[in-house]
Structure 1
Amino acid sequence: MYSIVLQAQAQPQGWFQPQLLVFAGIIIVFYFFMIRPQQKKAKDQKKFIDEIKKGDYIVTIGGAHGYIAEIDSETFILEVEKGGRIKFNRSAISLEATKAANAKK
């Protein structure tokens, strides 16, 4: 019985162990399914924010709906119902909510 255990332990392992290949596979899966799509989403969000102009209908992250009345380099003024105006940072624009709101129109 002890000879079988000793024989099993005596086998040397090479550099490319199966555990190393599994670990590399997990890293590749994380990159293609989590990191890369997140980078693409951030790039699309930045492009959308850079392309907005006066008169565009947007939705903020906080849920405020309205039209762009004025726009500066870092801020914009959102015109809501009945002439109300609110100043926001450009980073407050929600890409997904704006697309969904524009699709309903």
Structure 2
Amino acid sequence: MFISSAFAQTAPAAAGGDMQSSLMSMLPLVLMFVVLYFVMIRPQMKKQKEHRAMIEALAKGDEVATVGGMLGKVSKLGEGYLTLEVAPNVEVQIQRSAVVLVLPKGSIK
């Protein structure tokens, strides 16, 4: 009983100090979000931009690797799809976004 009434009788804090302390308590949270942005979000956006540029630059005859591990030469290009020649006279149609890597010429024999 005595403790609860003692807490109720504490002196009110000054108005200017209260605002400053609330800003200082938010500072670590803001800094954490800034670090999170530069460590995780920005590199991921850069990687997505590079992948999009690689997919847009695909040309007929390029040798590519897909997400599933399939290797082949690009034989036809469409808007959202492309056709890979994975073996002589064997063609597979895949989504452009499934291309992971453009291989150097002559990699596929």
TM-score tier, shorter chain, comes to 0.7 to 0.9
Q: 2:3 — aligned with what? A: none
For residues 19-64 of structure 1, give each alpha carbon's deviation from its aligned partner in whole angstroms, at most 9, with x where no partner exists. 3111011000110011111111111110000000000010011111
Amino acid in structure 2 at the alignment position of 1:54: K
Q: For 1:40, which of 38, 46, 58 is the aligned residue? A: 46
Count of residues in Structure 1 that have an aligned counterpart in Structure 2: 93
Q: Distance in 1 between matches of 2:23 and 2:88?
A: 68
For residues 69-97 of structure 1, give each alpha carbon's deviation from its aligned partner in whole angstroms, at most 9, with x where no partner exists. 11111111000123311000111111xxx
Q: TM-score, normalised by structure 1?
A: 0.76
Q: 2:98 — aligned with what? A: 92
Q: Distance in 2 between matches of 1:88 and 1:31?
A: 33
Decide which structure has the larger Cα Rg and report it: 2
Q: Distance in 2 between matches of 1:46 and 1:73?
A: 13
Q: Distance in 1 between matches of 2:49 and 2:39?
A: 16
Name the Cα RMSD after superposition: 2.4
Q: 2:80 — aligned with what? A: 74
Moved more, 80-89 or 70-79: 80-89
Q: Which has the higher strand share?
A: 2
Q: 1:16 — aligned with what? A: 23
Report whether the alignment pairs 1:57 with 2:72.
no
Q: Distance in 2 between matches of 1:91 and 1:76?
A: 10
